[in-house]
Amino acid sequence: MKEIKRIGVFTSGGDAPGMNAAIRAVVRTGNYNKLEVIGIYRGYDGLINSEFQTMNNSSVANIIQRGGTILKTARSESFRTEEGRRTAYQNLINAGIDALVAIGGDGTFRGAMALGNEYDYPVVGVPGTIDNDLFGTDFTIGYDTAINTVIEVVDKLRDTAASHNRLFFVEVMGRDAGFIALRSGIAGGAEDILVPESKTIIEDLIDKLKNDRRENKTSGIIIVSEGDDQGGALEIARKVKEKFDYYDTRVSIIGHMQRGGSPTCMDRVLASTLGYDAVNGLLEGKRGVMIGQMNLKTVYIPFEKATKHHQEMNKSMLTMANILSL
């Protein structure tokens, strides 16, 4: 195995609060271990275009608290092609970069896996996505901040919902995973939580709302994950209204504000730990793995496993949420 002297770090896919804390940890752990650390801008596009910059400890000063990513990010179409990956690999070799730390979600790790398999090139991954949809880590960087953003919004919507006796359908992100909806729904005391992992039956939702009426609830919050099988919040609100129009209904789609903002303490510590473990993992010979954390212990999950399926949703939390919202 070639000795690692110079490593590259980049962020890719949707940005997530805490990515900067992870970059900082990679740069400083690398420098501590006498490695040269190269920042790669705009994810895989930057690899293809050689957007490289040497980073030292001061390049990452004052960023642990900042959302977004100082290295910028992109969802690269070119890297999906063999030609794109060949160019990227050549650029890495020309720049003398011996290994990479890729910070991102499942798309990022699929790219990393392809590069590793095709060119036998060492890459480790750090899970950074608000969706929390990677197998093999309890939490991904950015998830905690995103759900805290959601509950701040839900609390505010609850004030106006209660004042006007209104029912709000609140759509949250998560692509095809309902983890943001699940936790923010529980923490926000939602009347119902609709997630792609469990089939949504409109009649059941209406029965629940009718029951709430009998219990004299005058307003409510329904959290809808954007990937729900019955559609987004607008669509579901329309379907409910068609059959049950007791409530004055409003729809609120939170959108990209879930991706921004200063990372929570949880996300900063997780990102720092995973960034630190990523560099140490590379130096210990780890390759082709995502650095995750389960039960507060570092785990190394092959990219193939991390990207193949989501971590399973704990359905008993949905049951609990239903009981607590009665």
Q: Which is nearer to ligand F6P, 74 or 269 (CB)?
A: 74
Q: Which is nearer to ligand F6P, 13 or 288 (CB)?
A: 13
Q: Given the rule CB under 6 A, which of 59-67, 169-177, 217-225, 236-244 is the region that contacts ligand F6P?
A: 169-177
14 to 53, contacts with ligand F6P by CB under 6 A? Answer: 14
Q: Given the rule CB under 6 A, which of 54-62, 65-73, 128-136, 317-325 is the region that contacts ligand F6P?
A: 128-136
Q: From the candidates 15, 98, 131, 277, which is the catalytic residue?
A: 131
Size of the site for ligand F6P (CB under 6 A): 10
Is residue 212 near ligand F6P by the rule CB under 6 A? no
Is residue 111 near ligand F6P by the rule CB under 6 A? no
Is residue 129 near ligand F6P by the rule CB under 6 A? yes
For every residue of the chain, which 3-state class applies, written as one string?
CCCCCEEEEEECCCCCCCHHHHHHHHHHHHHHCCCEEEEECCHHHHHHCCCEEEECHHHHCCCCCCCCCCCCCCCCCHHHCHHHHHHHHHHHHHCCCCEEEEEECHHHHHHHHHHHHHHCCCEEEEEECCCCCCCCCCCCECHHHHHHHHHHHHHHHHHHHHHHCEEEEEEECCCCCCHHHHHHHHHCCCCEEECCCCCCCHHHHHHHHHHHHHCCCCCEEEEEECCCCCCCHHHHHHHHHHHCCCCEEEEEECHHHHHCCCCCHHHHHHHHHHHHHHHHHHHCCCCCEEEEEECCEEEEEEHHHHHHCCCCCCHHHHHHHHHHCC
Is residue 173 near ligand F6P by the rule CB under 6 A? yes
From residue 229 to residue 268, the character string flagging contacts with ligand F6P as x (rule: CB under 6 A) and all else as - is ------------------------------x---------
Is residue 105 near ligand F6P by the rule CB under 6 A? yes
Of 130, 190, 251, 270, the residue at the interface with ligand F6P (CB under 6 A) is 130
Catalytic residue flag (residue 228): no
Q: Which is nearer to ligand F6P, 122 or 263 (CB)?
A: 263
Residues of this chain that interact with ligand F6P (CB under 6 A) are: 14, 105, 129-131, 173-175, 226, 259
Q: Which are the catalytic amino acids?
A: 131
